[in-house]
Amino acid sequence: MTQHFAGPCAPTTGNRTGWWRDAVIYQVYPRSFADSNGDGMGDLEGVRSRLPYLRDLGVDAVWLSPFYASPQADAGYDVADYRAIDPMFGTLLDADALIRDAHDLGLRIIVDVVPNHSSDQYEWFRRAIGDGPASPLRDRYHFREGKGENGELPPNDWESIFGGPAWTRVADGAWYLHLFAPEQPDLNWDNPAVADEFRSILRFWLDMGVDGFRVDVAHGLVKAPGLPDLGGTDQLRLLGNDVMPFFDQDGVHEIYRSWRTVLDEYPGERIAVAEAWTPTVERTANYVRPDELHQAFNFQYLGTHWDAAELRDVIDASLAAMRPVGAPATWVLSNHDVTRHTTRFANPPAGTQIRTPGDRALGLRRARAATLLMLALPGSAYLYQGEELGLPDVTDLPDEVRQDPSFFRAAGQDGFRDGCRVPIPWTAEGTSYGFGSGGSWLPQPASWGALSVEAQTGDTGSTLELYRAALSARRELPGLGAGESVDWLPGTPAGVLAFARPGFRCTVNTTSSPVRLPAPGRMVLASAEVTVREGEFELPADSTVWWSV
Ligand code: NOJ
């Protein structure tokens, strides 16, 4: 049973066109943001109660990870009803109130849509199984006969991203495809009923008044005809480095062209952002051609180490890839799937899943510098809840509290995403540091109190105040997020980046030694302590400075 609401109006402040081109978008992971009813799990009412905090932080929009009805086999990325709220997060009325309040505060709301797979508890899949092999609903998923004498082997050699085979056999002997957990069967986008259903889901949420969608596994919807074997290649090594028979197939773009027509039916520039792990920024650009989606996450940027040459290359490549399609570049350092960047930068470079705390002070210094660099770039930036507090990943969670399905599928060798999902601290003391009155679904470390919003507010040296100042300066410095290029300034020492934007300079030191440089203008903000004397300044190790010129 669904209810219908007249969609609340989008914020009238910032009613200019292209609001999303330079927007700073804050990711809320609802189960870990704020818990209003003391059940240890964050909820929509908790998010609503903290909207003033987000407005004051200075972000433009909030992206909420899934809060739909779900058995939570993958923290809500296994959706059992795309038009209902899971009771643990609240009700549709709560969603309506949240959207309305956000708009009243001038914040836009982006929700997740999960079209690559449903939950195995979604009505379609339950009927596909329950009605037996002849069920027409089987064609909405990828059911196949197995290989081997008695069909006892999976239909092809694809592996689940979470480990193990990408196929599970049902009682009547057929196999179904799941690129993620077995509880997340992949939908068959060649079946027109699937496309119809998702256009209807988009409309449902657009009618509710949301300003856009984050498209989960946007690169996965179309599979190569015949579901060909990979043929003995190391699948995990290929992931994100190559076009795969199940990822980044050209056919996905037709889907997004049809979604764009739906988005464009609505007033107020409703947008979509692709979660598309593609081999190159050029292939990412295909998702944001003018008649497709508006933005795509820049995972190449997220994966870049704290290294001046690498950063400059990825910034140039990202801007160059977006220019021909006219889309803004996007920038992101953390999300709910990777080790928080404070911890990545605290360790020697080693991918996006790190299991050791490393040198925390170093990680935080670099993280603060990386944020000022990111927010000085043209385009749109994504923040992940808690990064404004400088939270590290919680690397020592006991195995028995872990919930990431990939941890279990990969026999504890992988799947450490719970470490970035620990509920965030609001107060210096008290039960779950103000997250809620009933504890927290993952244990919070003792260090959380000193990192809380309460402890950092008003402390000018804190990371929270740095974010507040940076976001406020970004609004005030004309056009900082606009444009499509940066002018690199010559003559900087190795490991130091300097670039110009209109009326603005940014200097970044990625090395472990301070560097003395001429001051290019009036200092606006710095990620570390800097003194300017007689036209010169010392740029500390691992720091960034903003200048107005
Ligand atoms: C990407 C999401 O960000 C991640 O959390 C999820 O596990 C997979 N997609 C599967 O939906």
Spatial separation of the C-alpha atoms in residues 33 and 449, rounded to whole Å: 15
SS3 76: coil
Residue 11 confidence (pLDDT): 61
Instruction: Determine the distance separating the centroid of ligand 1 and the alpha carbon of 275, expressed in angstroms.
Output: 9
Residue 542 has pLDDT above 90, yes or no: yes
Catalytic member of 35, 60, 159, 216: 216
321-358, pLDDT tens digit by residue?
999 999 999 999 999 999 999 999 999 999 899 999 99
Structural contact between residues 309 and 274, judged by C-beta atoms closer than 8 angstroms = no
Residue 10 confidence (pLDDT): 61
Residue 134 has pLDDT above 60, yes or no: yes
Residue 114 confidence (pLDDT): 98
Instruction: Determine the distance separating the centroid of ligand 1 and the alpha carbon of 89, expressed in angstroms.
Output: 18
11-64, pLDDT tens digit by residue?
644 445 799 999 999 999 999 999 999 999 999 999 999 999 999 999 999 999
Ligand 1 atom at shortest distance from the alpha carbon of 117: 11
237-284, pLDDT tens digit by residue?
666 667 789 999 999 999 999 999 999 999 999 999 999 998 889 999
Q: Compute CA 57 distance to the chain's CA centroid, rounded to the nearest angstrom.
A: 18
Residue 8 has pLDDT above 70, yes or no: no
Residue 279 confidence (pLDDT): 85
Give the closest residue to 50 by CA, choosing from 110, 98, 17: 98
Verify whether residue 159 is a known catalytic residue.
Answer: no
Nearby residues of 331 by Cβ (< 8 Å), 6 or more positions away: 298, 301, 318, 374, 377, 379, 380, 381, 382
Spatial separation of the C-alpha atoms in residues 450 and 433, rounded to whole Å: 10
153-212, pLDDT tens digit by residue?
999 999 999 989 999 999 999 999 999 999 999 999 999 999 999 999 999 999 999 999
Residues with CB under 6 A from ligand 1: 74, 77, 114, 180, 216-217, 275, 336-337
Residue 3 confidence (pLDDT): 35
Spatial separation of the C-alpha atoms in residues 181 and 78, rounded to whole Å: 9
Give the closest residue to 417 by CA, choosing from 344, 337, 497: 337
Spatial separation of the C-alpha atoms in residues 416 and 167, rounded to whole Å: 23
Nearby residues of 7 by Cβ (< 8 Å), 6 or more positions away: 99, 206, 207, 208, 209
Query: Tell me, what amino acid is at 39?
Result: D
What mean pLDDT is reported for the chain?
Answer: 94
Please compute the mean of the pLDDT values over residues 502-506 and round it to a whole number.
95
Instruction: Determine the distance separating the centroid of ligand 1 and the alpha carbon of 97, expressed in angstroms.
Output: 26
288-326, pLDDT tens digit by residue?
999 999 999 999 999 999 999 999 999 999 999 999 999
Structure tokens at 98: 């949240």
Nearby residues of 146 by Cβ (< 8 Å), 6 or more positions away: 152, 153, 154, 155, 167, 169, 173, 174, 175
Verify whether residue 216 is a known catalytic residue.
Answer: yes
- Regarding beta strands 271-274 and 295-296, do their DSSP bridges make them parallel or antiparallel, or are they unpaired? parallel
From 74, 119, 213, give the residue whose CB has the most ligand 1 atoms within 8 Å, as the site to mutate. 74
pTM for the whole thing? 0.96
CA angle 457, 427, 381 (to 5 degrees): 55
Q: Compute CA 130 distance to the chain's CA centroid, rounded to the nearest angstrom.
A: 35
Query: Tell me, what amino acid is at 393?
Result: D
Instruction: Determine the distance separating the centroid of ligand 1 and the alpha carbon of 65, expressed in angstroms.
Output: 10
From 116, 217, 297, 418, give the residue whose CB has the most ligand 1 atoms within 8 Å, as the site to mutate. 217
CA angle 362, 442, 75 (to 5 degrees): 105
- Give 5's pLDDT tier (boundaries 50, 70, 90): very low
Ligand 1 atom at shortest distance from the alpha carbon of 405: 7
Residue 409 confidence (pLDDT): 85
Backbone phi, psi, residue 132, to 5°: 85, 180
Residues paired with 25 in a beta bridge: 61, 382
Catalytic member of 275, 292, 337, 388: 275
- Residue whose Cα lies nearest atom 10 of ligand 1: it is 77
Give the closest residue to 390 by CA, choosing from 459, 438, 441, 308: 459
Please compute the mean of the pLDDT values over residues 355-380 and round it to a whole number.
98
- Residue whose Cα lies nearest atom 2 of ligand 1: it is 216
- Give 410's pLDDT tier (boundaries 50, 70, 90): confident
Ligand 1 atom at shortest distance from the alpha carbon of 114: 11
Question: What percent of the chain is helix, strand and coil (3-state, nearest 5)?
Answer: 30, 15, 50
Structural contact between residues 212 and 110, judged by C-beta atoms closer than 8 angstroms = yes
